[in-house]
Amino acid sequence: MMLVRPGGAKTIQSDPAPDARVLAYEEGGITYALRYWLSRFDRDADCRDEVYGPVDEALRRAGTIAPHRRIELIPAAPPGFARAQQPGV
């Protein structure tokens, strides 16, 4: 899916062709590097938008959910509050 030229991006070079490489296979999923070549480095941000936008759209259409990290916040005890006074300790 990602090896298809991303949405006909006009700001990236067609030779060499864009490609995708696996960077990591981890608990949270597979990390890919989308590689593409530019003729003008001052257009880097525009090129990135042109490439990642269609990839994101294709992943959403396919029903893929972007991974996220779950963070549990544990409130700190106020100053002077002894640990033994906390409920459940």
User: For residue range 2-36, what is the model confidence (pLDDT) as tens digits?
Assistant: 544 544 667 788 788 888 899 998 877 788 888 88
Question: Do residues 2 and 32 make contact, with C-beta atoms less than 8 angstroms apart?
Answer: yes
Q: Quick one: pLDDT at residue 68? A: 65
Q: Give the percent of the chain with pLDDT over 90.
A: 1
Rounded Cα–Cα distance for residues 89 and 83 (Å): 7
> Is the entire prediction scored with pTM above 0.95?
no
Rounded Cα–Cα distance for residues 52 and 54 (Å): 6
Q: Quick one: pLDDT at residue 3? A: 47
Question: Do residues 23 and 34 make contact, with C-beta atoms less than 8 angstroms apart?
Answer: no
Domain ranges of the chain: 6-68
